[in-house]
């Protein structure tokens, strides 16, 4: 068998968790369209689906919501660790250290258990918010048990109960960020867990992988583009100017999806429902329609459609999320998918041990 650079196209595992089909534009979570989940279901319901294999009934959902609420509060030992970390340490490194250091009597257990996944998911937004506010010299905000997962995250960041439309849009983004097949960080987490280490160590490894700029991308470039466009009146001349120079429109096209990105389709529906006069949403909807038409004019046959980062940019702008929190926030969503994969890995575990092709010199053999 010849070498395959980056393992592209190599099947590393069988999974019941998700299907990513770029040619058809399909993203499926355990038999459900991800875009339908993002539009019609909550963060908590979708997390339950990925962990337990089916959507919850009312009793199951209520129980999970209670466990997530209870898990939001940071232990004092973790707060002391966060306070002691260097202020220059990037937030992704803070997350990696914090997750690895979480005190838990079951942390050394094998196999991992779903309560650990729930605890990590509940606590990660609290870690981000606590660190963010203390770096700004602000008093950390304790979680509000009356708010759902997405709304509470915004509340802990700002100290204000968020606009319901903004919380709903963020929840949809988090649902779509939960899972995306055997990506680099998911693979990293499964490889680490396959050594029979604990779930916290494996998630810490996945966070380290996500922190690389080729993986944990953020919609910063899309936000910069939309800020330059500024208004609907400026949109067409700005877009034509870029296309006539052979430039690239940020937020259009995707390495995997050769047709419409289902995550972008879902976020479009959410923003259409929640515009409520929000200029970020309204401009995004206008620019998407215009840019898609202009791309067909300037680059016929290229099949360039909006990707998830395009509408994510509108959401991040509307909720005023600082750019340094984009990738950490994405990570707080993806932890659900990571832990689902790790739980699955543990049920039929075999340590990953791929081969490599030696290309160095050979020793000189005697006559």
pLDDT of res. 152: 98
Give the pLDDT band of residue 254 (cuts 50, 70, 90).
Answer: confident
Give the pLDDT band of residue 365 (cuts 50, 70, 90).
Answer: confident
Average pLDDT score over the chain: 91
- For 32-351, the fitting CATH number among 1.20.140.10, 1.10.580.10, 1.10.3720.10, 3.40.190.10 is 1.10.580.10
Give the pLDDT band of residue 275 (cuts 50, 70, 90).
Answer: low
Structural domain spans, the chain: 32-351
103 versus 81: the higher-pLDDT residue is 81
Q: pLDDT tens-digit profile of 162-180?
A: 999 899 999 999 999 999 9
Give the pLDDT band of residue 103 (cuts 50, 70, 90).
Answer: low
Is 74's pLDDT higher than 90? Answer: yes
Mean pLDDT along residues 87-116: 88
Mean pLDDT along residues 261-265: 88
pLDDT of res. 346: 97
Mean pLDDT along residues 250-274: 82
SS (H, E, C) 167-223: HHHHHHHHHHHCCCCCCHHHHHHHHHHCCCCCHHHHHHHHHHHHCCCCCCCCCHHHH
Residues carrying an active site annotation: 254, 309
The CA distances from residue 43 to 71, 236, 264, in Å, are: 15, 36, 17
pLDDT of res. 260: 80
pLDDT of res. 108: 61
What's this model's pTM, rounded to 2 decimal places?
A: 0.91
CA distance 59 to 36: 22
Give the pLDDT band of residue 277 (cuts 50, 70, 90).
Answer: low
pLDDT of res. 269: 87
Q: What is the DSSP letter of 32?
A: E
User: With pLDDT > 70 as the criterion, what percentage of the chain qualifies?
Assistant: 94
Mean pLDDT along residues 187-202: 96
Q: pLDDT tens-digit profile of 217-250?
A: 668 889 999 999 999 999 999 999 999 999 989 9
Length of the chain equals 367
User: With pLDDT > 90 as the criterion, what percentage of the chain qualifies?
Assistant: 71
Q: pLDDT tens-digit profile of 286-343?
A: 999 999 999 999 998 887 888 888 988 888 888 899 999 999 999 999 999 999 999 9
Edge-to-edge strands of the sheet including 18-21? Answer: 18-21, 26-29, 32-33
pLDDT of res. 24: 86
């Amino acid at each position: 068998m010849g070498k395959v650079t980056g393992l592209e196209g190599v099947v590393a595992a069988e999974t019941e968790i998700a299907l990513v089909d770029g040619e058809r534009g399909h993203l499926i979570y355990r038999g459900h369209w991800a875009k339908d989940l993002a539009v019609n279901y909550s963060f908590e319901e979708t997390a339950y689906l990925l962990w337990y294999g089916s959507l919850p009934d009312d009793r199951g959902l209520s129980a999970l919501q209670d466990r997530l609420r209870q898990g939001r509060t940071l232990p004092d030992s973790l707060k002391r660790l966060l306070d002691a970390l260097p202020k220059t340490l990037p937030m992704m490194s803070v997350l990696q250290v914090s997750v690895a250091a979480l005190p838990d009597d079951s942390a050394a257990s094998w196999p991992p258990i779903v309560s650990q996944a729930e605890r990590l998911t509940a606590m990660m937004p609290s870690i981000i918010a606590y660190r963010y506010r203390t770096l700004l010299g602000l008093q950390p905000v304790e979680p509000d048990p009356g708010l759902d997962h997405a709304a509470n995250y915004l509340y802990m960041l700002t100290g204000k109960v968020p606009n319901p439309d903004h919380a709903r849009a963020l929840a949809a983004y988090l649902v779509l960020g939960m899972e995306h097949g055997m990506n680099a960080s998911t693979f990293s987490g499964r490889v680490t867990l396959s050594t029979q280490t604990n779930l916290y160590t494996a998630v810490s490894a996945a966070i380290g992988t996500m922190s690389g700029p080729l993986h944990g991308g953020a919609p910063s470039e899309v936000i910069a583009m939309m800020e330059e466009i500024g208004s609907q009146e400026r949109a067409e001349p700005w877009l034509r100017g870029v296309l006539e120079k052979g430039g690239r429109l940020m937020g259009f096209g995707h390495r995997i999806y050769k047709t419409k990105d289902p995550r972008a389709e879902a976020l479009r529906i959410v923003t259409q429902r929640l515009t409520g006069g929000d200029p970020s949403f309204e401009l995004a909807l206008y620019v998407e329609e215009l840019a898609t038409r202009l791309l067909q004019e300037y680059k016929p046959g290229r099949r360039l459609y909006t990707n998830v980062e395009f509408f994510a940019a509108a959401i991040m702008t509307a909720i005023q999320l600082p750019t340094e929190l984009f990738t950490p926030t994405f990570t707080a969503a993806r932890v659900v998918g990571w832990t689902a994969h790790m739980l699955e890995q543990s049920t039929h575990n075999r340590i990953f041990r791929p081969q490599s092709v030696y290309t160095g010199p050979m020793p000189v053999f005697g006559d």
